[in-house]
Amino acid sequence: MSANAFDPFSPEVVADPGPAYGKLRAECPFHRVDRPGQTFWIASDYAEIKEDILQESPIWSFRWGNAQKDTISDVGFKTDPPFHMAFRTEIARGVTPKALKRYEGEIARIVDELIDAMLANPAGEGDFYPLFAFPLPARIMCVMLGAPESAYKSYKVWADTLQNLLFNDPEPGSFEPILKDIYGHFNTLLDERVGLLAKAGVDKPSHEDLGGVLPDDFMSRSIVSQVDGRYLTREEQLNICLAFLTGGQETTISLLGNLMWRLLETPENWERLKREPQLVEGAIEESLRFDPPVLGHFRTSLQPTSLHGEALPNRAKLMFSMVGANRDPDLFPDPDVFKVDRPANEARKHLSFGAGVHMCLGAPVARLEAKTALSRLIERLPNLRLTGPTTRLPGWMHWGRASLPVAWS
């Protein structure tokens, strides 16, 4: 496929996006996509994405969402600096290295519960996606947010439906009904926490109330946090819930599935990790580089501008291709090869978690989950192996395994 003919929605590209976007980066790092009723541009150059598009910019805005159509309003994480940085800094207090220590035990608990269930299966085989890759991040998301862990399957249905409407349904506002259901549910949970404060006679909550009057979770944090000298609005609180519901699951689910797929499809990779467990962290970063769970995100221009000699109008949609940038041979030698021993400091240059002012806030959690999971799988399921072909997630933007048949006995 020539660069001029590149279509991100074509079956050829959807089936194997890495080489296709890598080729586009090499041949046409700034590419226009024209579809009925829709035009957007794809940027693939690593330096341009990292140093220009993802830095604080008077031109490229996040407030119109990260899909090719305008999505959720200018609130919370979906804002531009300087407010975005103040908002992010306040919420990031819950994911500092010290704060993450409290989740290590929860992650290990769920990992071992899932492996125990696999070992208890007399057949000794099954689908790694529903058995492990999906429930681990989904349940940890519930723990961190303060949502009922038992509802993780329902939350995943909501997240999948919303993401599908955002990226694959051209109808404007098609996501509004499901969003109304999601917000209604989280409004109830937030109201319960407000009720706890009222019962305790607390009218000016603070972080000191976490773990006491309020449970220490991110829904409670959204209530006690302040930005610019004021408490967060309910809309901003709901934005935090939504960020966990979507970003807190999908990326890590696909990271786990893609990682195990690449390790098991070439058994020598799995055997080497068993012999050299010190390669675990590098293998995780290499999976993120080679198979980014989200292939790209979008920004919207706030004024007419030009890139690469082409005039772009106000409210132009620009997709920055993380999958394409991650195949830059100047940064990643042999970029089209998955190398289980690629040095971690080299692989970690990938853009799969973004960069700059919108670097993924949950990246440390995803890495911690993947490291704990892979280390325990190597230890407790050393005979893990593929037993058949995998299938990919639907859609053109998300890249992960929808099924991963394995055996372990």
Residue 296 has pLDDT above 80, yes or no: yes
Lowest-confidence segment of 23-37, 38-52, 77-91 by average pLDDT: 77-91
Lookup: tokens for 95: 């994911």
Q: Please state, in angstroms and as integers, the Cα–Cα distance from residue 55 to each residue in 81, 288, 304, 354, following that order.
A: 10, 21, 18, 10
**Is the sign of the CA dihedral 379, 381, 383, 387 positive or negative?**
negative
Q: How many CB atoms lie within 10 A of CB 307?
A: 17
pLDDT digits (tens, 9 = 90+) for 131-143: 999 999 999 999 9
Alpha-carbon gap, residue 290 to 299, rounded angstroms: 23
As to burial, measured by CB atoms within 10 angstroms (0-12 exposed, 13-18 middle, 19+ buried), residue 204 is: exposed
Mean pLDDT, rounded, of the chain: 93
- CA-to-CA distance for 362 and 352, rounded, in angstroms? 12
Mean per-residue pLDDT, 77-82: 86
Q: Does 268 have pLDDT greater than 50?
A: yes
The Cβ-side half-sphere exposure at 263, using a 13 Å CA radius, reads 29
Q: How far is 285 from 41, CA to CA, in rounded Å?
A: 28
SS (HEC) of the chain: CCHHHCCCCCHHHHHCHHHHHHHHHHHCCEEEEEECCEEEEEECCHHHHHHHHCCCCCCEECCCCCCCCCCCCCCCCCCCCCHHHHHHHHHHHHHCHHHHHHHHHHHHHHHHHHHHHHHHCCCCEEEHHHHHHCHHHHHHHHHHHCCCHHHHHHHHHHHHHHHHHHHHCCCCCCCHHHHHHHHHHHHHHHHHHHHHHHHCCCCCCCHHHECCCECCCHHHHHHHCEECCEECCHHHHHHHHHHHHHHCCHHHHHHHHHHHHHHHHCHHHHHHHHHCHHHHHHHHHHHHHHCCCECEEEEEECCCEEECCEEECCCCEEEEEHHHHCCCCCCCCCCCCCCCCCCHHHHCCCCCCCCHHHCCCCHHHHHHHHHHHHHHHHHHCCCCEECCCCEECCCCCECCEEECEEECC
Structure tokens belonging to residue 383: 């005979």
Question: Taking Cα atoms as reference points, which of 279, 217, 263, 297 lies closest to residue 385?
Answer: 263
Residue 3 pLDDT: 57
Rounded distance, CA 354 to CA 360, Å? Answer: 6
pLDDT score for 4: 63
Residue type for position 212? G
- CA–CA dist 224, 206 (Å, integer): 5
- Give the C-alpha separation, 344 to 370, whole Å: 14
> What average pLDDT does this structure show over 275-285?
97
Per cent of the chain over pLDDT 70 is 98
Beta bridge pairs of residue 401: 392
Give residue-wise pLDDT tens across range 326-380. Answer: 999 999 999 999 999 999 999 999 999 999 888 899 999 999 999 999 999 999 9
Domain limits of the chain?
3-93+108-144+246-407
Return the pLDDT at 160. 87
d(CA 200, CA 220) in angstroms, rounded, equals: 15
Q: Which residues, other chains included, contact 58 with Cβ-Cβ below 8 Å and sequence gap of 6+? A: 302, 303
- β-pairing verdict for 405-407 and 125-127: antiparallel
Q: Is the pLDDT of residue 158 over 80?
A: yes
CATH architecture of 3-93+108-144+246-407: Orthogonal Bundle (1.10)
pLDDT in tens, 178-204: 889 999 999 999 999 999 999 999 999
Cα gap 131→276, rounded to integer Å: 26
Cβ pair 220, 192 in contact under 8 A? no
Whether the model pTM is above 0.75: yes
pLDDT at residue 1, rounded to an integer = 43
